[in-house]
Structure 1
Amino acid sequence: MKDQASASSYDLIFQNVGRFIDLTDEEKDLFKSLLKSGSAKRKEFVMRPGKMAKYEYFVTKGCLKVYSLDRNGVEHVSMFAIEDFWTGDMASFMLEQPASYFIKALEDSEFLMISKESFEGLFQKIPKFERFYRNLYQRSLVSYIERTNQGISLTAEERYEIFLTKYPHIAHRITQKDLAAYLGITPEFLSMIRSKMSKR
């Protein structure tokens, strides 16, 4: 873990929050005081299932993979979090129950973290943050519903094309295996899709 984040890391999180709410300099200082900084080397785990999720994470550098394992040990990737993304195990963090997900660094990564205690204190001291996190969670829920519907109604090729359109800045930073686990297909099938698309 890092002891202190860079000024650019705080600038990034202030920009992220600023898309939904305006903060005074005093409120920014208070928010900053509640954040901790962390880091993880490539292939290092940030979180494992079974333990309580103590933090929500805001990525300032690198790429994190959030995934679960089924009973056969097959990976199911929920999301990739790069710079300017929030991630974590929301259910574990909010409901104080054991986490269901692994979070693993795919690149050397840095992030800012907020604990449950600081999270709740933030709402008391700066009530407008409730609006920010409500927007954040609503977007997360909509994204989850969209992915579920896509898994039911769209072909793997269509899901792959949507990923490329929605996350072009992520596609080149992850392996074919990890992307296949996100799409719910095998790496071999993804390779066939890519080959087919390249011939269009």
Structure 2
Amino acid sequence: MKVLIIGAKGHVGTAAVRALEGKHEVIQVGRSTDPAVDLDDPATIEALLNEVGEVDAIVCTAGHVPFKPVTELTREDFESGFYGKTLAQLDLVRIGLPHVRDGGSITLTTGVTARAAIPTGSAAAMASGAIESFVMAAAGEMPRGIRINVASPTVLESATHFHDFFPGFPPASDEAVGNLYRRAVESIDSGTTYILD
């Protein structure tokens, strides 16, 4: 299959690439690649997909959200989390659907904050929870047999600079995280959130 991975150079993206390359034709893109894509700019999504052509699967591991105590979060912070994590991925679904072959798939990314509270994680919880609810509801309306799922891993072993944000959460291996994405791409599920805690 031809698999497009957006955010391929980050920790999660690298894990997804390792799990899928060798088995599929993997196209790795991000803000600094050629072609480049910035999910904050929907025009770059359209340009990327026009250049890449039809794909069997789109995997998104990109997104950003502020981490602050709830008492310090501003409206702008919530907007930043919504636009940077939620709307960015929903735009990818909206723009990407015509470029996915019949029976293909789209995989979005959330994280452990969708189901477990961490200090400073409320904006991330808002953004991730919205994505998971959207995917559950949208799966039944996807056209042409296209599947849509979510990969929702905990913090990665390799992302050591994030470990202090997740006290008491055992980090997951890159291999285990990558397998979430392999399962999402190669399974027959739709509307599913694949959880790795």
TM-score range, shorter chain: under 0.3
Structure 1 or 2, whichever has the larger Rg, is 1
TM-score, normalization: structure 1? 0.27
TM-score, normalization: structure 2? 0.27
